Structure 1
């Protein structure tokens, strides 16, 4: 048996020096706290104050007109009351009757003014509640410790929509909600139990009224009648959609909401505009298969449907997510089928027997 070789010792002074040099160039370790969440940094958006100011709704209040109208109403009431008093003392019953009629007209005008102001205030309160609801729901929550404010806002939403404590939709939300639900889960429950039935009713209303508008325009012989029909149907549809979400519209509040809906239609996102343009091109291809009047009715019906969808997005207390938002393509087929049946019946009626 041969003797083992003598042992050899290896050392690496050069490698040790390299590690020392590398260690000197490394940065120090950063200790993260356990409760710190590691989330990706959000993308920074370039501020555009000019664009934001252009798209923002005007905030100027017409206090001058309101003060002038109120002062005129008050002075007219005093004048009519004084005339009525003098006519009663002097026995001039005709002047007294006119003064009483003027007081009645002023009283009705004051009541209408107070009603409009109350409806405008309710519309502004609805808009503020919508902003608070949009700003409250985080992407993820911590459960019960974040649930106090969402529940308070849910109660405010119930009051704003005019629902009683015993309403079935509110009771179903209370039964489904648990203490451990986060703010985002509370939002989903509200959208499902309170808003989803109203969304479905609003979509059925838009489908029916856009189809009726298309049929009315298709059978109407005059352009002026077409314009009057569209204006009447669109205003009626806007009132009914607002009532579904707890809004009562007066003349001024209806005008303000209608202007807001048109603004949202004008400043839609680029992707949605491309989608709507594709639907318009498709509707043009469909309209080519119809008669001239039926094609005009199809265009009017699609415009009414688009206005209704924008009205839902504007009056809904909680904004739609990307998956929840109703689209024009969902309503186009119903309008097309109604007009197709009308056009087929008209052509079959013209055929000789």
Structure 2
């Protein structure tokens, strides 16, 4: 009886771990989806709240304006007419301003969409350069393939605009380095850099046929700073190069010159990032300018303009005439 009452256990191979892993992955994906949907809902709620607030403020202002004009007409016809004309002109000005800002912001977003796909006619018109458009029409051949068209357009047309843009960045970088090197105040340095970098970004955008308004300028600045922040340490080291870290270059610079070179490199980096954002096509068939080359040119130009800011190396080796004496 004891032998019959014994229990026997059999091992059954079941993929328990695999099921648990798959369940964990599904739970993780579901958690991510819920988090993203929650963020979208929160952002939508904030947008709706902001929109409702703006509409309420506009309704209040409009109501107050109408009541004010009505009261002015009750007091005097000419006074009411004057306030009516002023209100209409102000409304037309604000309406034109918002329409212009919306149009310029739309053009900037359209430029970013153009970078993903090449269209010959739209890209040549986007530069707003009649001379380059005429040159392209003269050299364009009907037997070219799509790849050849893209390559020749980038090498023959966009390369000329890139060269002009790089020369302008070099000029702005040198001016920024010189201003910071001779400026006695750190606050003045920051204001000068902000002012001149803003002008440089507007000029570079116009070179590629992009006009900036208030909101489009803020949008472009936001993308520039975001791309610089996420560039990574490795890209920064590759761009700046080993010469910047060499003791020979540091030993040649004075304190003010080193600050000027740093400001010039910051200006150059902003300029190069601006080119990447407003360029109709990404760099594929042409070599993109690097910060290392801009650094060499900046130090060379700064040494020519301000030779006293560079330390002269002392000659430790005695001359033969001193030994003979």
Match of 1:326 in 2: 289
Report if aligned partners of 1:279, 1:328 keep a CA contact under 8 Å in 2. no
1:212 to 168, 175, 178: 175
Cα distance in 1, alignment partners of residues 180 and 117 from structure 2: 41
1:236, distance to aligned residue in structure 2 (A): 0.8
Cα distance in 2, alignment partners of residues 225 and 272 from structure 1: 30
1:237 to 197, 200, 207: 200
1:63, distance to aligned residue in structure 2 (A): 6.5
1:75, distance to aligned residue in structure 2 (A): 5.4
SS in 2 for 1:193: helix
1:332, distance to aligned residue in structure 2 (A): 1.5
SS in 2 for 1:281: coil
- 1:1-353 paired onto structure 2 within 5 Å: 62=47, 65=50, 68-69=53-54, 72-73=57-58, 76-77=61-62, 79-91=64-76, 100-133=85-118, 153-163=119-129, 167-268=130-231, 272-279=235-242, 281-282=244-245, 285-321=248-284, 323-345=286-308
Cα distance in 2, alignment partners of residues 228 and 301 from structure 1: 14
Q: Which structure carries more helix by proportion?
A: 2
1:283, distance to aligned residue in structure 2 (A): 7.3
Cα distance in 2, alignment partners of residues 229 and 261 from structure 1: 19
Cα distance in 2, alignment partners of residues 173 and 98 from structure 1: 55
1:299, distance to aligned residue in structure 2 (A): 0.5
Unaligned runs of 5+ in 2: 1-28, 312-325
1:112, distance to aligned residue in structure 2 (A): 1.9
Unaligned runs of 5+ in 1: 1-48, 134-152, 349-353
**Bigger relative CO (Cα 8 Å, ≥ 6 apart):** 2
Cα distance in 2, alignment partners of residues 309 and 187 from structure 1: 22
CA deviation map 1:126-164 (0-9, x unaligned)? 11122223xxxxxxxxxxxxxxxxxxx11111333334x
Cα distance in 1, alignment partners of residues 250 and 158 from structure 2: 34
Q: 1:84 and 1:288, CA in 2 relative to 1: closer, same or farther beyond 3 A?
A: farther
Cα distance in 2, alignment partners of residues 318 and 115 from structure 1: 25
Cα distance in 1, alignment partners of residues 285 and 152 from structure 2: 17
Q: Paired residues, what number?
A: 272
Q: 1:154 and 1:68, CA in 2 relative to 1: closer, same or farther beyond 3 A?
A: farther
1:284, distance to aligned residue in structure 2 (A): 7.0
Report if aligned partners of 1:210, 1:335 keep a CA contact under 8 Å in 2. yes
Length-normalised TM-score, structure 1: 0.67
SS in 2 for 1:307: helix
CA deviation map 1:12-52 (0-9, x unaligned)? xxxxxxxxxxxxxxxxxxxxxxxxxxxxxxxxxxxxx99xx
Q: 1:347 and 1:193, CA in 2 relative to 1: closer, same or farther beyond 3 A?
A: closer
Q: 1:324 and 1:176, CA in 2 relative to 1: closer, same or farther beyond 3 A?
A: same
CA deviation map 1:270-317 (0-9, x unaligned)? 763331242573477524312211110010001111111111111111
Length-normalised TM-score, structure 2: 0.72
CA deviation map 1:166-216 (0-9, x unaligned)? x23112222222222111111112113331221111001000000000000
Cα distance in 1, alignment partners of residues 212 and 239 from structure 2: 29
